[in-house]
Chain A
Amino acid sequence: MKVENLAISYNGMTVFSDLNVELEKGKIMSLVGPSGCGKTTFLRCISGLTSPTSGTIQLNGCDITKTKPEERPVVLMFQQPLLFPHMTILQNVTYGLKYGKRKLKKKEREEKGLAILEKVDLGSHGERYPHQLSGGQQQRVALARALIVNPDLLLLDEPFSSLDPSLRSSIRLWVKDFLKNEGVTALFVTHDREEAMIIGDEIAVMKDGSFQQTGAPEEVYQNPKSSTVAEMFSEGVHFEESFLPANQLTIRPVSNLKVSDTETIRAVIQYKVYKYGHSFYHLHVPSLKQNVVVSSSQLFNDGDHVDLTYLRSSVQPFHNEQSTIYFTDKARQSR
Chain B
Amino acid sequence: MNENRKRVLLQGLFLLLFAIMFVIPIFFMFAKSISFGWQWPNLSPSGIDIRAWEVAFRDPRIYQSLINTVVIGGAVVIFNFLIATPAAYSLSRYEFKGKTMIESLLILPILVPVLAVAMGLHIPMIRLGLTDNLSGVILIHLLPTLPYAIRVLKAGFDRLNNDWEEQGAVLGARRATVFWTVIIPLMAPSIRSAALLVFVISLSQYVLTAIIGGGRVSTLPMIYYPFFSSADEAVIASFTVMFALLPVLFLILFETVCRSYLKILKKP
Contacts and interface: CB of A to CB of B under 8 A. Distances in A.
Most chain A CB neighbours (cut-off 10 Å) among B175, B266, B268 = B268
B182 to A, nearest CB: 6
Contact of A84 (B170, B182, B188, B268): B182
A101 interface: yes
B170 A74 contact: yes
A49 B170 contact: yes
A308 interface: no
Given A86-B185, A87-B266, A99-B177, A78 B171 contact: no
Given A82-B163, A86-B186, A100 B169 contact: no
B167 A85 contact: no
Given A85-B186, A86-B186, A86-B262, A78 B172 contact: no
B170 A105 contact: no
A95 B171 contact: yes
A70 B169 contact: yes
Given A105-B268, A106-B268, A96 B186 contact: no
Contacts of A99: 168, 171-174, 177-178, 181
Contact of B172 (A85, A96, A105): A96
Interface residues of B, number: 22
A86 B188 CA distance: 10
Secondary structure class of chain B's binding surface, majority of residues: helix
A47 interface: yes
Contact of B173 (A86, A87, A100, A146): A100
A49 B162 CA distance: 11
Q: Looking at chain A, what size class is its interface with the partner chain?
A: 20 to 34
B18 interface: no
Contacts of B170: 47-49, 69-70, 72, 74-76, 146
A145 interface: yes
B164 interface: yes
A149 interface: yes
A69 B186 CA distance: 22
B173 A70 contact: yes
Nearest to A80: B163
B169 A146 contact: no
Nearest to A84: B182
Nearest to B164: A82
A91 interface: yes
B171 A145 contact: yes
B59 to A, nearest CB: 45
A227 to B, nearest CB: 37
Most chain B CB neighbours (cut-off 10 Å) among A75, A82, A98, A99 = A99
Interface in B140-169: 163-164, 166-169
A74 B174 CA distance: 14
Contacts of B177: 99
B173 A95 contact: yes
B163 A70 contact: no
The 4 closest A-B pairs by CB, nearest first: A100-B172, A106-B268, A96-B171, A99-B173
11 contacts: A70-B173, A70-B175, A71-B172, A76-B166, A78-B167, A86-B262, A87-B266, A99-B168, A100-B171, A106-B268, A146-B171
Interface of A: 47-49, 68-72, 74-76, 78, 80, 82, 84-87, 91, 95-96, 98-102, 105-106, 145-146, 149
Interface of B: 163-164, 166-175, 177-178, 181-182, 185-186, 188, 262, 266, 268
Given A72-B170, A78-B167, 6 more contacts: A49-B169, A84-B185, A86-B188, A95-B173, A99-B168, A99-B178
